[in-house]
């Protein structure tokens, strides 16, 4: 299997540790024993192929899934899915989920005293195009309280799930908004010690994709693990 090219390992501090005590739920759910280091085999270097057949034309518009329009600030969220070598990741599934404009999820576990919106589920999916681009129309999610510590509030965020070409590129993350005053206080955001890596979870306001008289644009590129050696690197 010498023809297999593996994926790079993350630089120190750029990914969270399993145990991050300020995030209390991690304490009883992080492995205590060290992980067993193993080579990436054919199993890890492959993964499911999702085609457009699983994605409907309106699945990336979270404002059009019900009879009426959801309340809240409409927004366009777009960007590119890349690997760490800067190459686009085409035809790859992206799933997102988020709270409504009031900071409430339609989920039996969410007991926050804020209204549900009958016109908003908060789930969308899409497949990146041939240049790794994606686009969603949604509303800006609200901040909401959680019980991690006294007066704990989650910053506004959207959950993202991504596959890329193999199980080594699998990623679930959260996207945040620029200038959110709650970011410095959020143990989940701050579990990443490397500032550049932490800030890579924050989207940018984007005039280019803002649509006059309709919606603000936000841009966010997502970067998956890249292969150890690529033709692109050899060109340097």
Task: Give the active site residues.
Answer: 105, 144, 154, 157, 159
**Residue list 77-96, contact with another protein (CB under 8 A):** 82-86, 95-96
Binding mask 37-76 for another protein (x = CB under 8 A): xxxxxxxxxxxxx----x----------------------
Question: For residue 9, what is the DSSP state?
Answer: P
Establish if 210 lies at the interface with another protein (CB under 8 A): no
- 145-159 b/e with 16+ CB inside 10 Å = b? eeeeeeeeebbbbbb
- 210-224 b/e with 16+ CB inside 10 Å = b? eeeeebbbbbbbbbb
132 Rama class: left (phi>0) / alpha (psi -120 to 50) / beta = left
Of the candidates 162, 96, 91, which has an alpha carbon nearest to the alpha carbon of residue 127?
91
> Rg for the chain (alpha carbons), in Å?
19
Taking the least distance from each CB to another protein, the nearer of 64 and 214 is: 64
The values of phi and psi at residue 174, to 5°, are -130, 140
Q: How many CB atoms lie within 10 A of CB 80?
A: 17
Closest approach of Cβ 12 to another protein, in Å? 12
**Residue list 127-156, contact with another protein (CB under 8 A):** none
Closest approach of Cβ 19 to another protein, in Å? 9
Closest approach of Cβ 67 to another protein, in Å? 20
Pick the stretch among 60-68, 103-111, 132-140, 211-219 that binds another protein (CB under 8 A). 103-111
Establish if 213 lies at the interface with another protein (CB under 8 A): no
SS3 74: strand
Q: Find the binder of another protein among 61, 65, 74, 110 (CB under 8 A).
A: 110
Pick the stretch among 67-75, 177-185, 188-196, 209-217 that binds another protein (CB under 8 A). 188-196
Establish if 159 lies at the interface with another protein (CB under 8 A): yes
Taking the least distance from each CB to another protein, the nearer of 85 and 210 is: 85
Of the candidates 60, 70, 56, which has an alpha carbon nearest to the alpha carbon of residue 124?
60
Closest approach of Cβ 70 to another protein, in Å? 14
Establish if 101 lies at the interface with another protein (CB under 8 A): no
Establish if 28 lies at the interface with another protein (CB under 8 A): yes
Establish if 31 lies at the interface with another protein (CB under 8 A): yes
Gap between the Cα atoms of 103 and 84, Å rounded:
33
């Amino acid at each position: 299997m010498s023809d297999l090219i593996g994926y790079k390992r993350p630089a120190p501090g750029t990914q969270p540790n399993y145990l991050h005590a300020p995030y209390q739920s991690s304490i009883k759910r992080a492995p205590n024993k060290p992980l067993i280091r193993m080579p990436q085999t054919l199993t890890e270097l492959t993964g499911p192929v999702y085609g457009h057949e699983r994605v409907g034309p309106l699945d990336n518009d979270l404002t059009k899934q019900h009879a009426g329009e959801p309340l809240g600030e409409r927004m366009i969220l777009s960007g590119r899915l890349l690997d760490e070598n800067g190459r686009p990741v085409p035809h790859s599934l992206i799933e997102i989920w988020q709270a409504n404009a009031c900071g409430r999820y339609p989920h039996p576990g969410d007991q926050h005293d804020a209204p549900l919106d009958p016109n908003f589920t908060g789930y969308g999916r899409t497949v990146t195009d041939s240049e790794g681009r994606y686009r969603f129309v949604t509303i800006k999610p609200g901040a909401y309280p959680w019980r991690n510590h006294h007066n704990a509030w989650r910053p506004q965020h959207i959950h993202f799930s991504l596959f890329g070409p193999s199980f080594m590129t699998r990623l679930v993350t959260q996207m945040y908004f620029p200038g959110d005053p709650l970011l410095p206080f959020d143990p989940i955001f701050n579990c990443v010690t490397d500032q550049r890596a932490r800030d890579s979870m924050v989207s940018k306001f984007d005039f280019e994709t803002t649509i006059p008289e309709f919606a603000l644009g936000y841009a966010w590129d997502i970067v998956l693990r890249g292969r150890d050696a690529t033709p692109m690197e050899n060109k340097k």
